Chains A and B, each alone.
Chain A
Amino acid sequence: QKEVEQDPGPLSVPEGAIVSLNCTYSNSAFQYFMWYRQYSRKGPELLMYTYSSGNKEDGRFTAQVDKSSKYISLFIRDSQPSDSATYLCAMTSSSNFGNEKLTFGTGTRLTIIP
């Protein structure tokens, strides 16, 4: 069993819809959680990162962590065609997370249909 599981999709939704992307994990020591967006033929771009449980909002994006369920989510409101990309979750157990290796999900491919 992988430490981090992420549905690879593909996920297709109409423009303007709310998108929910999710990861589950097995290591209860994980406490820092990141979401990256990767466009085709580009490197991953950091969207958001959160610590422990709770929500964090940045514009149309909301990251949610439920440590009791070992489940994290990224919500995209008012989705746009420019949101079409692969979304990767990543996590680590270290409070000094810049210095530590990350464990990544395999990514969910999202397409927003105009």
Chain B
Amino acid sequence: DVKVTQSSRYLVKRTGEKVFLECVQDMDHENMFWYRQDPGLGLRLIYFSYDVKMKEKGDIPEGYSVSREKKERFSLILESASTNQTSMYLCASSTQNQPQHFGDGTRLSIL
């Protein structure tokens, strides 16, 4: 079974802090994705990556950046956290012709 592990289940940070969310997958998948999930808005894609050191903007990249230095790890960075970035963050991975598999999410609160 595919396992996607997000480093924190719950996180509380302050406005203006730089925040790192980590995601690791154990299936050697090429593709990794970061979403945020908000009530009534569903899942919205922030960034994705097809390979090491590659990244593509999703639908809502503003205020975020990503890093993929190793194939199994994909990090989401909030450069200067703001209260409107309070959300559930979900990481997913996939390979060719296999749908995305998700981690259990990080519930992030920005105070």
What is the interface of chain A, defined by CB distance below 8 A to chain B? Answer: 8, 34, 36, 41-46, 49, 88, 90, 96-99, 101-102, 104-107
Contacts and interface: CB of A to CB of B under 8 A. Distances in A.
A101 B45 contact: yes
Interface residues of B, number: 26
Given A44-B102, A104-B42, A98 B94 contact: yes
B30 A99 contact: yes
A42 B58 CA distance: 22
B83 interface: no
A96 B97 CA distance: 5
Contacts of A46: 99-101
B99 A43 contact: no
Contact of A98 (B31, B40, B103): B31
B43 A98 contact: no
Contacts of B105: 41-43
B90 interface: yes
B69 to A, nearest CB: 20
Given A44-B90, A46-B101, 15 more contacts: A41-B104, A42-B104, A42-B105, A43-B4, A43-B90, A43-B102, A44-B43, A44-B102, A98-B31, A98-B95, A98-B99, A102-B100, A104-B43, A106-B41, A106-B42
